[in-house]
Amino acid sequence: MLGDLAQIASRSRAPSLPLVAKYVTIKDDLIMRLIIIL
């Protein structure tokens, strides 16, 4: 997953930024939910 994002970012940076931002936001949300559950 991260490798694919890195390849996209290296190919053309501007269009991939929203995708990376969305992925980071989803990841942080999942981490926060795990912390709340634990």
Q: What single string gives the DSSP state of each residue in 10-35?
A: HH-HHHHHHHHHHHHHHHHHHHHHHH
pLDDT at 9: 59
According to the model, what pLDDT value does residue 28 have? Answer: 87
Which tokens sit at 7?
A: 């390849």
pLDDT for residue 36:
87
Average pLDDT by consecutive 10-residue portion of the chain (38 residues)?
65 65 84 86
- pTM, two decimals, is 0.41
